Amino acid sequence: LKGVFLDRAFRQAGFGAARLSPTRMAGCFDCFCGLFGGAGAEKKKALAKAKGLVKAVVLEKSCGPILIRTAWHDAGTYDKANASKPWPEAGGAIGSIRTEHEIKAPPNAGLQKAITAYLSPIKEQVPEVSWADLIQLAGAVSVECMGGPVIPMKYGRVDGEPKELVPPPFGLPAALPPFGQPGVKNPNDAAEHLRYVFYKYGMDDKDIVALSGAHTIGRAFKERSNTVREGYMDGTVYTKKGAAALKNSQTCGGRSWTKDWLIFNNSYFTDMPKADPECITFPTDAVLMTDPSFKQHFDLFAKDQSAFFSAYASAHKKLSECGSKFEPASGITGI
């Protein structure tokens, strides 16, 4: 049936009577299915359904920050120095954060909840969507739901698990010195650390500052990172039980970077110089105001939220595709 259908189609299109090989025939048939419906259309429908389900959860439970962190930490294992290795050995946005090796490691403390409580019930309803796609979709949708930019995402990721297990912290950024990542000469140099981490994703200084701006949302917890004194049982005026900024969050406590930490805007840049004693400013945050290359972007984003949103959307998309393998290779867009 495939052969008859395609032979007739190619004749009508003016390609003559030459028959395609079975391999090329199968590939072209898949293309035709994508044009007229078939598996491609079903995958797109499943992704659209997943997007709606994620939106509902984010709005109901105000859980956007943890979903963004999960997406970042899945993608953040990527190292372009390993790009020549067989996929998925370079890491990246491949859904491997679900593995025991990654999810139980210190950098990912607290993220098990995102997988089991928020995303697994959605995955059960859309089994056609890969974990790698669902994790990245949840991060992008969370940004949008909290008032941030619409990110032009690409989907169709294949799930993967590297055979060569990299030890924690998987090349992810740290908040406090000493910064012990390989390649960092000065363990107290926050700027050098940020560049080491993000340059291996193919980022530049503008991307680093834009992505740092995502700290406009979310909190740090003593139990997770041990970088702040506030835990689940206490908090600041912005995070303690009864605080208006909690909205529908089921978890109180911790310390935020901004006072309205469930609203995605440019307040990270406008408010950091004010040094609110109820908010965090880690060395990796403060250096954005002093390093000359970082500062030019920091100052721009403080003045112009639209410039921040544009830069953030571009950098987030770039990060979300690090190390990913797409089927079809061109990806699925328009979700």
Catalytic residue among 73, 193, 215, 316: 73
Q: Which residues are bridge partners to 326 per DSSP?
A: 157
Contact 158, 325 (CB under 8 A): yes
Closest of 46, 59, 49, 77 to residue 118, by C-alpha: 59
Cβ partners under 8 Å of residue 177, min gap 6: 187, 188, 190, 283
Q: Which residues are bridge partners to 157 per DSSP?
A: 326
DSSP string, 40-87: HHHHHHHHHHHHHHHHHHHHHH--HHHHHHHHHHHHTT--GGGTTSST
N-term to C-term CA, the chain = 32
Say how many C-beta atoms besides its own lie within 10 A of residue 326's C-beta.
16
Sign of CA dihedral 29, 33, 38, 39: positive
Q: Determine the angle formed by the axes of helices 64-75 and 305-320, rounding to 10 degrees.
A: 50
Containing H/E element for 33? helix 22-36
What are the structure tokens assigned to 211, written together?
Answer: 């992505």
Identify the three-state secondary structure at position 6.
helix
Scored b (16 or more CB within 10 A) or e, 245-263 reads bbeebebbbbbbbbbbbbb
Cβ partners under 8 Å of residue 79, min gap 6: 90, 91, 171, 200
- 73 catalytic per annotation: yes
Positions marked catalytic: 73
